Amino acid sequence: MKLNADGLALLKHFESCLKPTSRGTFEAYPDPGYGWNVATIGWGTVQYENGAKVKHGDEITQARADELLEWEINEKIFGKKGKTPEDDIPGVVDLVKVPLTENQASALIVFAYNVGIFALKRSTLLRKLNAKDYAGAAAQFGVWNKSNGKVLKGLIRRRAAERALFEK
């Protein structure tokens, strides 16, 4: 399982690094749904590899944003082993029990990148997919259009694009 070029382009379109500062760095910015309660940086990063949360005032270079993107994609695909089995975080590869096309896998990775692996794990989307109801799973992308209880136009567009990739 991997993120293909179409999936990466989709992810970067919706998780854009914003405009660099005059110093050529990228500053943390508030999440559209949660504001500064969920500070974000680079390609949608909210937490660094060491577990520290992104905070207001953080700055990174483009190279660092790209490193974090690669780390997060790999974590979403393959998961992360914790110190104990209870600390393990599954990846998309662990959760999906049915065959996927490259585009279906990429759409799920992009979706999990945004909503988080635990949201995917508990979702009707995954339940339908694992029951081999591919059409039902595709229809579930549009359900995920809210952040902090508010429907966001950007999420409506994003979910439509993820569904289109899934069905391609």
HEC string of 107-147 equals HHHHHHHHHCHHHHHCCHHHHHHHCCCHHHHHHHHHHCCEE
What is the per-residue pLDDT for 127?
Answer: 98
Tell me which residue range forms the domain holding 61.
5-167
Q: How many helices (H) and strands (E) does the chain have?
A: 8, 6
Residue 147: which of 32, 54, 39 has the closest Cα?
32
Compute the mean pLDDT over every residue in the chain, rounded to the nearest whole number: 94
What's the structural domain count of the chain?
A: 1
pLDDT, residue 166, reads 98
Residue 16 has pLDDT above 90, yes or no: no
* 11-34 mean pLDDT: 91
Give the residue-averaged pLDDT of 134-147.
97
Of 83 and 51, the one with more pLDDT: 51
Digit-coded pLDDT (tens) for 65-88: 999 999 999 999 999 887 777 778
Confidence check: pLDDT of 155 > 90 = yes
What are the residue numbers of the active site? 15
* pLDDT for the residue numbered 81: 80
Per-residue pLDDT, 88 = 80
pLDDT (0 to 100) of residue 80: 84
* pLDDT range class, residue 104, cuts 50, 70, 90: very high
pLDDT at 83: 76
pLDDT value at residue 11: 97
pLDDT-based confidence at residue 60 (cuts at 50, 70, 90): very high
CATH number at residue 135: 1.10.530.40
